[in-house]
Amino acid sequence: MSTSATPSVLFVCVHNAGRSQMAAAFLTHLGGDRVQVRSAGSAPADTVNPAVVEAMREVGIDISAETPKVLATEAVQSSDVVITMGCGDACPYFSGKRYLDWQLEDPAGQGVAAVRPIRDEIERRIRGLLAELAIEPAA
């Protein structure tokens, strides 16, 4: 971890339109200002997957205004924890960073019913990450 009192987490997937958006939204929602959250994609889509937006709305989190962002080397360099979700070799590696690779089904092309279990698994993993970071989740 950095010397900063606030840990920084970067979520990376290919399109930054599904998994990484859900993970960033859950961490922001549950971690509040006690954690810095970023998300990006190695080949970002034009928009966030509408089924992902709807699935997150069902749990009270609105990500309709989010837009996919391109992965920048600076984002990796300024993060304490980098969580990849299928970005493969596109994610730059820097020593001193903690890397986690979350194997999750890709919600691309899926309907809301198929996105829900992915969403729920991401929330479970985010709660585990918060516990590892010693951050009590918001109610």
pLDDT in tens, 45-94: 999 999 999 999 999 999 999 999 999 989 988 999 999 997 666 666 77
Catalytic residue, from 23, 24, 76, 91: name it: 91
Catalytic residue, from 10, 13, 37, 104: name it: 13
Residue 70 per-residue DSSP state? B
Residue at token pair 């989740």: 137
User: What is the Cα–Cα distance from 138 to 102, expressed in whole angstroms?
Assistant: 23
Annotated catalytic, 13?
yes
Counting every residue written for the chain, the total comes to 139
* pLDDT at position 89: 65
* H-type alpha helices, 13-132: 19-31, 50-58, 73-77, 112-132
Inter-residue contact 16 to 39 (CB < 8 Å): yes
Catalytic residue, from 23, 25, 87, 126: name it: 87
Annotated catalytic, 87?
yes
Summarize pLDDT for 26-41 with one digit per residue, the tens: 999 999 999 999 999 9
